[in-house]
């Protein structure tokens, strides 16, 4: 868990640079290395045994252009990465050494959220060097990828969650080290712990729901433990490492195409534990956001 002192320092930086969020989101500053292909998780890609992970160097790939995304990503790594030695590198160095199996690479990767989708999304991905990588990113074994933001996002919403993402990625690696089956099952196998939400305070962004949600129903279902709120309140809870508090996050294309994936998460602000990681394909009757069945999963442990 990243300590509260670090969180305060990070969010002071965020507050000072907040006016730049929109400009930085428009200028991600990432060299175009191609779009990683959509992977159908029903047929797991090649998985790696990570027992050597903690003895190898993880290269943190950044553009070095002082964009907001780069700055906060780098800061989150510096303060929160602990499971292996790490070094920063730029895209030019990455292009030279990505075939070296002695390295793992943590980087922002552009991917398609659907098999035939024209949409683009940024993911925070942990990849392993491979001799086959000379052909492109698709040939690099993917350890884990977390959806960060759609390619046309201008809000900078996910920046506040970067420290949590760093923790979630490391927690996944440690689980795979302990049991390689998690490499095939993925984070969905253990990150649907909504039955453990009971008694915790849920801060839910109203816009994260795919249906009209009634505040009175929320108050009743959760026994007063859940609040429909605004992003500023969620950011404050993350900044304060609020105890026994869980916040929502939706990542989906801004202008989705039928079949694009919508990712739905609930993240603890004190431990950065992932209490929910679900996804669904967007369609006419299934827009982006938490669906009613997700809502039922949330309040199920509150006895309502």
Radius of gyration in angstroms for the set of CA atoms belonging to the chain, rounded to a whole number: 19
In a domain, 155, yes or no: yes
Asked if 165 and 203 sit in the same domain, the reply is: no
- Check residue 100 and give its pLDDT: 96
Number of structural domains in the chain: 2
- Check residue 78 and give its pLDDT: 97
27 burial (CB, 10 Å; 0-12 / 13-18 / 19+) is middle
Asked if 154 and 216 sit in the same domain, the reply is: no
* Cα→Cα distances 231→41, 87, 235, 246, 247, Å: 31, 33, 6, 13, 10
* Cα→Cα distances 36→111, 145, 151, 166, 234, Å: 5, 11, 13, 21, 31
Asked if 143 and 204 sit in the same domain, the reply is: no
Asked if 259 and 295 sit in the same domain, the reply is: yes
- Check residue 113 and give its pLDDT: 63
Asked if 51 and 133 sit in the same domain, the reply is: yes
| Among the listed residues 54, 45, 59, 63, the one whose alpha carbon sits nearest the alpha carbon of residue 140 | 45
In a domain, 225, yes or no: yes
Asked if 167 and 195 sit in the same domain, the reply is: no
In a domain, 23, yes or no: no
In a domain, 144, yes or no: yes
Asked if 59 and 167 sit in the same domain, the reply is: yes
Which of left, alpha, beta for 67 (phi over 0: left; psi -120 to 50: alpha)?
A: beta
Domain boundary among 178, 209, 226: 178
292 burial (CB, 10 Å; 0-12 / 13-18 / 19+) is exposed
pLDDT in tens, the chain (304 residues): 434 443 444 444 444 444 443 334 333 344 444 445 544 443 344 556 688 899 999 999 998 888 888 999 999 999 999 999 999 999 999 999 999 999 999 999 987 666 666 678 889 999 999 999 988 888 899 999 999 988 777 688 999 999 999 999 999 999 988 887 777 777 877 778 999 998 899 999 999 999 999 999 999 999 999 999 999 999 999 989 999 999 999 999 988 888 999 999 999 999 999 999 999 999 999 999 999 999 999 999 887 5
Asked if 52 and 91 sit in the same domain, the reply is: yes
Asked if 198 and 271 sit in the same domain, the reply is: yes
Q: What residues pair up with 36 in beta bridges, in sequence order? A: 111
In a domain, 7, yes or no: no
- Check residue 16 and give its pLDDT: 44
Starting at the edge strand found earlier in the chain, the sheet holding 226-229 runs 226-229, 201-205, 245-251, 261-268, 274-281
- Check residue 304 and give its pLDDT: 58
Asked if 101 and 158 sit in the same domain, the reply is: yes
Domain boundary among 178, 200, 221: 178
Supply φ then ψ for residue 251, to 5 degrees. Answer: -125, 120
In a domain, 12, yes or no: no
- Check residue 17 and give its pLDDT: 43
Q: How many CB atoms lie within 10 A of CB 275?
A: 22
Domain boundaries, position 97: 28-39+46-178
The pTM score is 0.84
Q: How many CB atoms lie within 10 A of CB 87?
A: 10
Distance (Å, rounded) from C-alpha 22 to C-alpha 68?
Answer: 9
Is residue 260 within 8 A of residue 281, CB to CB? The reply is yes
């Amino acid at each position: 868990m990243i300590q509260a002192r670090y969180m305060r320092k990070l969010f002071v930086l965020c507050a000072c640079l907040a006016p730049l969020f929109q400009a930085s989101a428009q200028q991600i500053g990432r060299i175009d290395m191609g779009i990683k292909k959509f992977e159908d998780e029903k047929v797991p890609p090649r998985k790696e045994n990570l027992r050597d992970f903690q003895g190898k160097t993880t290269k943190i790939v950044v553009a070095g252009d002082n964009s907001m995304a780069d700055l906060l990503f780098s800061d989150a790594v510096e303060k929160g990465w602990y499971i292996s030695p790490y070094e920063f590198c730029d895209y030019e160095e990455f292009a030279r050494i990505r075939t070296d199996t002695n390295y793992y690479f943590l980087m922002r990767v552009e991917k398609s959220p659907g098999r035939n989708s024209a949409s683009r999304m940024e993911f925070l991905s942990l990849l392993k060097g491979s001799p086959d990588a000379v052909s492109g990113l698709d040939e690099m074994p993917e350890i884990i990828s977390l959806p960060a933001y759609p390619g046309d996002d201008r809000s900078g919403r996910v920046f506040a969650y970067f420290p949590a993402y760093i923790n979630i990625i490391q927690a996944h690696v440690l689980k795979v080290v302990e049991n390689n089956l998690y490499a095939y099952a993925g984070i969905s196998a253990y990150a649907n712990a909504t039955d453990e939400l009971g008694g915790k305070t849920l801060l839910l962004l109203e816009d994260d729901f795919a249906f009209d949600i009634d505040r009175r129903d929320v108050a009743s279902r959760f026994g007063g433990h859940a609040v429909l709120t605004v992003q500023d309140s969620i950011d404050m809870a993350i900044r304060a490492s609020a105890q026994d508090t869980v916040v929502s996050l939706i990542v989906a294309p801004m202008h989705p195409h039928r079949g694009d994936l919508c990712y739905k998460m609930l993240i603890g602000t004190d431990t950065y534990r992932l209490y929910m990681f679900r996804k669904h394909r967007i369609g006419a009757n299934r827009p982006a956001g938490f669906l009613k069945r997700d809502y039922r999963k949330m309040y199920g442990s509150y006895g309502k």
